[in-house]
Structure 1
Amino acid sequence: MAATYSATATGSFTVTDIGVVVRQFTTDLKMIASSTRAMTEKDASAYGTDIELLAAHGYLKSVDVTLMFGGSEVRAVRYHVDENTGAIKSSRPGGVLWPELTGGWIRVVFTHTSDLTDAVLQSLGSKLNKTWGNSSADTSHSSLTSSGGRTYASNGWGMRREDWS
């Protein structure tokens, strides 16, 4: 049985819709992993699975993915959850072929709703592929320049991607 969530009068969505959109996020993450070689595609898939689980339970607000090198940000994307997509047209994944930098690494930080407490996160622990915890990372990307974005949507659920370079 699939759970159904309602957003507003402009749309409703199912867990299947969340899965469709998160697969587009995961495709982006796999492209980032492949082009930078700073993360394996297996890790990218694991992050995608975790993000889908968090989103399906209504805990996800945004996901920030940053290419780090020598303590500095090189590129970044942030995916904002939008439960009121209305007439947003879904883009195709892509536009994230980032540079390969020996010694670079990918930082993945998600923001969550207040419903995701430490106890809830601990209870989800056995279902998560990655170990998640609190982060003090600055995800403002103040050293980078905004460079567009894309939208991914299925029925009433979507993610708006912001890009920085």
Structure 2
Amino acid sequence: MSATYSSTATGSYTVTDIGIVVRQFTTDLKMIASSTRAMTEKEASEYGADVELLAAKSYLKAVDITQMFGGKEVRAVKYHVDQNTGALKSSRPGGVRWPELLGSSIRIVMSHTDSFNEAALQSLRGRLNISWGFTSIDTSHSSLTSSGGRDYASNGWGLRREDWS
């Protein structure tokens, strides 16, 4: 399957570009899984595959990953989709070796575009690894402090990562 998307400002990207960028995202998620031991690397790969599918369908707006411990946020990263990456310089994955806290968990919340609805979700059932649902969880991370970020990009598609600790 091949698809091309265009942006009037900087150029175009393909689903291959999305895959390149999502592999960097998945590498970050595997590092989080490995360091916290709150998720397996296999689960991280499954989340990464779902992110790639939703991004390729133009349904993805952002992905928020938060380490929770005792009902409180410990660390977080949020990846914002950027379809006009002329200003983004791609970084290497990393900087997400989070603490191993016995009993902590990883919460992953995807924000979607307006074109994603219950019918779109149902059409993807059987292709998604994770049983996704709709939520109104606050991902503003008001209890944490912003601590930098990284950018991942390929041609006209990218993810801008914001970090909190």
What TM-score bracket applies, with the shorter chain setting the length? over 0.9
Cα distance in 2 for partners of 1:42, 1:117 equals: 27
Cα distance in 2 for partners of 1:163, 1:9 equals: 27
Aligned length: 165
Map 1:14-33 → 2, pairs under 5 A? 14-33=14-33
Tell me which residue corresponds to 2:146.
Answer: 146
- AA partner of residue 52 (structure 1): E
Tell me which residue corresponds to 1:56.
Answer: 56
1:88 deviation in Å?
A: 1.8
**SS of the residue 2:102 aligns to:** coil
Is residue 46 from structure 1 mapped to residue 67 from structure 2 by the alignment?
no
**Identity of counterpart residues, as a percentage?**
76
Tell me which residue corresponds to 2:13.
Answer: 13
Q: What whole-Å deviation, never above 9, does each CA across 1:105-146 have from its counterpart, x for those lacking one?
A: 000000000111101101101100000001121101000000
**SS of the residue 1:51 aligns to:** helix
TM-score by length of 2: 0.98
Cα distance in 2 for partners of 1:154, 1:7 equals: 13
**SS of the residue 1:110 aligns to:** strand
- AA partner of residue 129 (structure 2): N
Q: Which runs of 5+ in 1 are unaligned?
A: none
Tell me which residue corresponds to 1:131.
Answer: 131
Cα distance in 2 for partners of 1:90, 1:8 equals: 21
Cα distance in 1 for partners of 2:138, 2:69 equals: 15
Tell me which residue corresponds to 2:91.
Answer: 91
Q: Structure 1 stretches (4+) deviating beyond 2 angstroms?
A: none
Tell me which residue corresponds to 1:108.
Answer: 108
**SS of the residue 2:140 aligns to:** coil
Map 1:147-162 → 2, pairs under 5 A? 147-162=147-162
